[in-house]
Amino acid sequence: MLRGCGTALVTPFRESGEVDEPALRSLVDWQIGQGVDFLVPAGSTGEAATLVADEHERVVAITVDQVAGRVPVVGGAGSNNTVEAIDLSLRIASTGVTHLLHVSPPYNRPQQRGLIEHFSAVADAAPCPVVLYNVPGRTGSNITAATTLALSEHPNIVGIKEAGGNCDQVAEIAHHRPAGFVVLSGDDSLTMPFMALGADGVISVVANATPRAMAELVRAMERGDLPRARALHYRLADWMRVAFVESNPVPVKAALSMLGRTHPHVRLPLAPLAESNRKAVAAAVRAAGGRLPAGRATRACGDQP
């Protein structure tokens, strides 16, 4: 059963724009060493929207290879074209991922019955378990609790990443889901309340830069240690907010560069972090426990880590 703290991995790029394989492999090892429970490459945080199909498959394959069976790998495979989503699922499944993550089709804004048909077609064709991803802020439509519960009956749909920010919706899903269906927060700042309602963990953005603290927060909630979880939440609170001061993953990539983990480069149409936000990102990461080398936060956005 997929549960705990998963990291929605960034995709490191070189200044030339190519995928930085050594940096990705190093990031995978660091994440696992810091205690995260699973990894999610080539999702929204991984800039999947600007990866061509071969790159998309390669990023997931590198992650799977470097993980070497130590933790589950949930490969992003969503599309607003059902035929393309099935084709990408088959390609991503061939890398050896344990699960596939399928976002609600963006831009099309399908009806709920269209969502049921889309996800059912994908799950029918997919050779490994499918996790739904609800993120209305990016897709323009919400997967309702009723639709999620209907899809939860499909034998190859095993969970949902809920980034709709709706506690009532999460509570309804968590309360009525069948045994074995996983609910994961897609909002870092709502991890604690969602888990209090019965969710099983988080797919986290901020864990890219602060994996140990985020994993510890989730484990504290799993064992019912609310004081410890609350302390960790407040320690991470500024970072959870500042990580979205600009479009994700711009701030978190800047933070990883400050930490010396990856380059800060993002692909157009995203632009590098504004200089006016660098001090806030650095301060928030430090407050969350990140160890920034001296002078790192003052470097220009394009500098190498």
Among 107, 133, 234, 253, the active-site one is: 133
Q: Is 253 a catalytic residue?
A: no
- The residue annotated as part of the active site, out of 161, 234, 253, 279, is 161
Question: Does residue 234 carry a catalytic annotation?
Answer: no
Other residues' Cβ atoms within 10 Å of the Cβ of residue 73: 26
Active site residues per annotation: 133, 161
